[in-house]
């Protein structure tokens, strides 16, 4: 029960990574406000988790919704200890020269402005309590180039930068701010990105597995939920402004077809450092 007595708000919690995290947090003793624009899925999830979860409609691009979402944690469960700014879409795709300007702005609104609003309206509650953990969901596309559409990469780099700046600002109030950068993870979002069909989870699982540097293992939502559990819990009490990459090693430059290090790095072979 690593989150016993804690109250969490998770945006985009009706599906994918947010949903897995809501379930994991409840298993560990937290109460969770499930914020999302998908009312039916969100209500079904909170019903499934009994009194430990409550659905609240929230469009993260609407400041009033986000403010009320944070307030609802305090009015329903008595405090606000953890906020995970997770809601997202893939958004505008394609070559930069044909990227539609209004779609670019609309994508930034959800991924970056929505994260800003989540932090802005969580902070006053946590400052009053003198404690709190804010977790922003970035992406590997936010730590290196070439791994996502232009606006997605721009927004996620923005999320990493915002995380570090706010971490430096809020730490004096006992609030930690970290982010997670998942690699490809089997969810409706990634099925929509790869297959243009958010329900094609089985097919996309095979693609994600084949692209992963780790043998025969696709990234799955519980991987990110477990990382979030660490950042949400008191175990990470001295971890602040960190970007936790959960990508099977993709951003190290590893690919599934790389030869073992001992073959690709002669100096290791000479030193007899096989298997590093």
Ligand X SMILES: NC(=O)c1ccc[n+]([C@@H]2O[C@H](COP(=O)([O-])OP(=O)(O)OC[C@H]3O[C@@H](n4cnc5c(N)ncnc54)[C@H](O)[C@@H]3O)[C@@H](O)[C@H]2O)c1
87 counts as binding ligand X under rule CB under 6 A: yes
Q: What is the torsional sign of CA 34, 38, 39, 43?
A: negative
Q: How far is the CB of 171 from ligand X (least distance, A)?
A: 24
Q: Is residue 189 at the binding interface for ligand X, with CB under 6 A as the rule?
A: yes
With respect to ligand X, which residue has the nearer C-beta, 126 or 151? 151
Counting contacts by CB under 6 A, is residue 26 touching ligand X? no
Verify binding: residue 118, ligand X, rule CB under 6 A: no
The CA distances from residue 203 to 5, 190, 196, in Å, are: 39, 11, 11
Choices 76-84, 85-93, 231-239, 259-267 (CB under 6 A): range interacting with ligand X: 85-93
CA distances from 217 to 117, 185, 195, 210, 249 (A): 35, 10, 19, 8, 12
Tokens for 142, please give them. 């936010």
230 is annotated as an active-site residue:
no
Token pair in block for residue 84: 């995970």
Does position 200 interact with ligand X (CB under 6 A)? The reply is no
Exposure string over 20-45, b if 16+ CB within 10 A, otherwise e: bbbbbbbebebbbbbbbbbeebbbeb
Contact map string, positions 145 to 184, toward ligand X, x by CB under 6 A: -------------------------------------x-x
Which among 77, 113, 152, 230 is annotated as catalytic? 152
CA–CA gap between residue 171 and residue 162 (Å, rounded): 14
Listed ranges 8-16, 72-80, 97-105, 120-128: which one lies at the site for ligand X (CB under 6 A): 8-16
Give the residues lining the site for ligand X (CB under 6 A): 11-12, 14-18, 36-38, 58-61, 86-89, 110, 137, 139, 182, 184-185, 187-190
């Amino acid at each position: 029960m690593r989150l016993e007595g804690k109250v969490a708000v998770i945006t985009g919690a009706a599906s994918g990574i947010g949903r897995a995290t809501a379930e994991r947090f409840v298993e560990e003793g937290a109460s969770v406000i499930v914020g999302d624009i998908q009312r039916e899925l969100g209500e079904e999830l909170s019903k499934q988790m009994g009194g430990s979860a409550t659905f609240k409609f929230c469009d993260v691009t609407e400041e009033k919704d986000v403010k009320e979402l944070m307030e609802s944690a305090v009015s329903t469960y008595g405090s606000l200890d953890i906020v995970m700014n997770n809601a997202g879409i893939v958004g505008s795709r394609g070559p930069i020269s044909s990227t539609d300007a209004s779609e670019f702005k609309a994508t930034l609104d959800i991924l970056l402005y929505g994260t800003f609003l989540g932090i802005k309206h969580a902070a006053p509650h946590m400052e009053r309590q003198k404690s709190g953990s804010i977790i922003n969901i970035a992406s590997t596309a936010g730590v290196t180039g070439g791994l996502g559409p232009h606006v997605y990469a721009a927004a996620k780099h923005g999320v990493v930068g915002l995380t570090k700046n706010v971490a430096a600002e809020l730490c004096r109030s006992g609030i930690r701010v970290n982010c997670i950068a998942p690699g490809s993870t089997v969810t409706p979002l990634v099925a929509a990105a790869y297959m243009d069909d958010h329900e094609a989870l089985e097919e996309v699982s095979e693609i994600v597995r084949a692209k992963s540097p780790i043998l025969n293992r696709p990234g799955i939502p519980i991987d990110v939920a477990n990382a979030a559990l660490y950042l949400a819990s008191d175990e990470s009490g001295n971890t602040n402004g960190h970007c936790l990459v959960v990508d099977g090693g993709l951003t190290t430059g590893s690919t599934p077809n790389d030869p073992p290090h001992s073959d690709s790095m002669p100096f290791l072979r000479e030193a007899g450092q096989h298997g590093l």
